[in-house]
Structure 1
Amino acid sequence: MDETADLPLVDQHCHPVVLEPLDRAGFELLLTEAHEPGPAGTSQFDTQVGLAVRRWCAPVLGLEAHADPDAYLTRRAELGPREAARLLLGACRTSDLLVDTGLRHPGLCEPAELAGLSGGRVHEVTRIEAVVEELAASGVEAAALGPAVADALADRAARSVAFKTVAAYRVGLELPADPPSSADVRRAADRWLTDCEWKDRYRLDDPTLVAHAVHTSLSLGLPLQVHTGYGDPDLTLHRADPSLLTPFLRALPPATGPVVLLHCYPYHRQAAYLANVFPQVLVDVSLAVNHVGPRGPAVLAETLELAPFGSLLYASDGFALAELHHLGAVLFRRALARVLDEWLADDAMTADDARRIARLVAHDNARRTYHLEPS
Structure 2
Amino acid sequence: MIDHHCHSVTLADLDDTAFASLLTESDRLPAPGTSPLDSSLGLAFRRWCPPALGLPAHAPIADYLARRHALGPAEAARRLFAATGLSHCLVDTGLTAAAGRPLLPLSELASLSGAQVREVVRLESVAESVDAPAARWAGAVEEALRTAAASAVAFKSVLAYRHGLAVPAERPSPSEVARAAATHRSGRRLTDPVLLRQLLWNAVDLGLPIQLHTGFGDPDLTLHHADPSLLTDFIRAVEPAGTPLVLLHAYPYHRQAAWLAQAFPHVYADLGLTLSYTGPRAATVLREFLELAPFGKLLFSTDAYGLPELHTVGAAQYRHALSRTLADWQSDGACTAADAARITRLVSTENSRRLYGLG
Deviation at 1:40, TM superposition (A): 2.2
Is 1:30–2:22 an aligned residue pair?
yes
In 2, are the aligned partners of 1:265 and 1:285 still within 8 Å (CA)? no
- The match for 1:85 is 77
Secondary structure, aligned partner of 2:183:
helix
In 1, are the aligned partners of 2:153 and 2:356 still within 8 Å (CA)? yes
In 2, are the aligned partners of 1:96 and 1:120 still within 8 Å (CA)? yes
- The match for 1:294 is 280
- The match for 2:89 is 97
CA distance in 1, matches of 2:330, 2:358: 30
CA distance in 1, matches of 2:252, 2:164: 16
Q: What is the 5 A alignment of 1:270-281?
A: 270-281=256-267
Secondary structure, aligned partner of 1:368:
helix
RMSD of aligned alpha carbons? 1.0
CA distance in 2, matches of 1:300, 1:253: 27
| Matched residue type, 2:156 | K
Is 1:149–2:141 an aligned residue pair?
yes
Q: What is the 5 A alignment of 1:319-358?
A: 319-358=305-344
CA distance in 2, matches of 1:45, 1:230: 19
Deviation at 1:317, TM superposition (A): 0.2
CA distance in 2, matches of 1:350, 1:50: 34
Is 1:109–2:104 an aligned residue pair?
yes
CA distance in 1, matches of 2:51, 2:325: 25
Structure 1 unaligned segments of length 5 or more: list them. Answer: 1-8
Deviation at 1:281, TM superposition (A): 0.4
Deviation at 1:346, TM superposition (A): 1.3
| Matched residue type, 1:57 | C
| Matched residue type, 1:261 | L
CA distance in 1, matches of 2:279, 2:269: 20
CA distance in 1, matches of 2:256, 2:214: 11
CA distance in 1, matches of 2:166, 2:317: 32
- The match for 1:3 is none
CA distance in 1, matches of 2:291, 2:44: 26
Q: Deviations over 1:76-107 (max 9, x none)?
A: 11111111111111211111110000113132
TM-score (normalizing by structure 1): 0.93
CA distance in 2, matches of 1:167, 1:332: 27
| Matched residue type, 1:267 | Y
| Matched residue type, 1:319 | Y
Deviation at 1:45, TM superposition (A): 1.6
- The match for 2:62 is 70
Deviation at 1:304, TM superposition (A): 0.6
| Matched residue type, 2:203 | S
- The match for 1:283 is 269
CA distance in 1, matches of 2:250, 2:287: 14
In 2, are the aligned partners of 1:242 and 1:271 still within 8 Å (CA)? yes
CA distance in 2, matches of 1:109, 1:94: 18
Q: Deviations over 1:17-56 (max 9, x none)?
A: 0111000000000100111221222122211122222211
CA distance in 2, matches of 1:188, 1:269: 35
CA distance in 2, matches of 1:273, 1:261: 11
CA distance in 1, matches of 2:243, 2:250: 20
CA distance in 1, matches of 2:350, 2:341: 12
Q: Percent of aligned positions with the same letter in both sequences?
A: 53
Deviation at 1:363, TM superposition (A): 0.2
Q: Deviations over 1:180-212 (max 9, x none)?
A: 11111000001223xx7xxxx610100000000
Is 1:39–2:31 an aligned residue pair?
yes
Is 1:180–2:175 an aligned residue pair?
no
- The match for 1:127 is 122
Is 1:158–2:150 an aligned residue pair?
yes
Is 1:306–2:301 an aligned residue pair?
no
Secondary structure, aligned partner of 2:132:
coil
Aligned residues: 356
CA distance in 2, matches of 1:252, 1:108: 34
CA distance in 2, matches of 1:171, 1:37: 25
In 1, are the aligned partners of 2:5 and 2:92 still within 8 Å (CA)? yes
Secondary structure, aligned partner of 2:240:
coil
Query: Once structures 1 and 2 are overlaid, which stretch shifts more, 264-273 or 249-258?
Result: 249-258
Structure 2 unaligned segments of length 5 or more: list them. Answer: none
In 1, are the aligned partners of 2:239 and 2:266 still within 8 Å (CA)? no
In 2, are the aligned partners of 1:16 and 1:99 still within 8 Å (CA)? yes
- The match for 1:170 is 162
